[in-house]
Amino acid sequence: MVISKLDFSLMSWVEVTSLDDHVFFLNRDTQLSCSAKELGFMRGCVYFTQPNEMSLYKYDLEDN
């Protein structure tokens, strides 16, 4: 999984290697970023679902 952000000073996409205190929640229709500490989730992770499944998957960006 590769996460990028737009660097406005360079006007180019750069790869993100740390989400700091944030987590991402992704599915086919929704993308959401929240504070991990406020929600009690593990920081630096991407949580996602697959179509037609009831499972929640976790990808730790810093540990690959």
Chain segment 3-54, per-residue pLDDT in tens: 899 999 999 999 998 899 999 999 888 899 999 999 998 889 999 999 888 9
37-47: pLDDT as tens digits:
999 988 899 99
State the chain's mean pLDDT as an integer: 91
- pTM (2 d.p.): 0.74
User: Looking up tokens 């540990």, which residue turns up?
Assistant: 63
Q: Which long-range contacts (CB under 8 A, 24 or more apart) does 47-50 make?
A: 47/23, 48/24
